[in-house]
Amino acid sequence: MAKIKVVVVDDSALVRSLLTEIINRQPDMQCIGAAADPLVAREMIRELNPDVITLDVEMPRMDGLEFLSRLMRLRPMPVVMVSTLTEQGADITLRALEMGAVDYVAKPRIGISSGLNELATDIVDKIRVAASAHVKRLGPAPAAGATPA
């Protein structure tokens, strides 16, 4: 069985390292790349063709929501948001899900290393679910007053 190929996108070297380690411990998945920002991630996605992306929200050069929006328009794929800003009910989480993210994991605000390791099962379960999701390109919004087909 082919492994789930994952690219991690996070500006924190520690988080990239921890997520890579958590993913690579799984017999059914492999972290094939880790990017510090969306512009680097864009090239990795083109070259490595991952099955799933984990994506932070707050990053330099382009935030995760803007990247998610572009990704879903141009090359839709399963995305799991991993951020301190993605908590249940948070506006950013709801926007990310509306834009096409499959799920989210709230990063711990303190004790990142121990916190992410405690969330490891949750993280890899969500990556597995995301890998089986059928993500489609978001089309333009219907015109006001248009009748659905």
Domain ranges of the chain: 4-132
145, two tokens? 């007053």
Please list the pLDDT of the chain residue by residue as tens digits (149 residues).
Answer: 789 999 999 999 999 999 999 999 999 999 999 999 999 999 999 999 999 999 998 888 899 999 999 999 999 999 999 987 665 557 888 899 999 999 999 887 777 778 777 889 999 999 999 999 887 765 554 444 444 44
The model's pTM is 0.86
- What's residue 65's pLDDT? 93
Q: Tell whether domain 4-132 is in CATH 3.40.50.1970.
A: no
Residues in the chain: 149
- What's residue 149's pLDDT? 42
- What's residue 89's pLDDT? 53
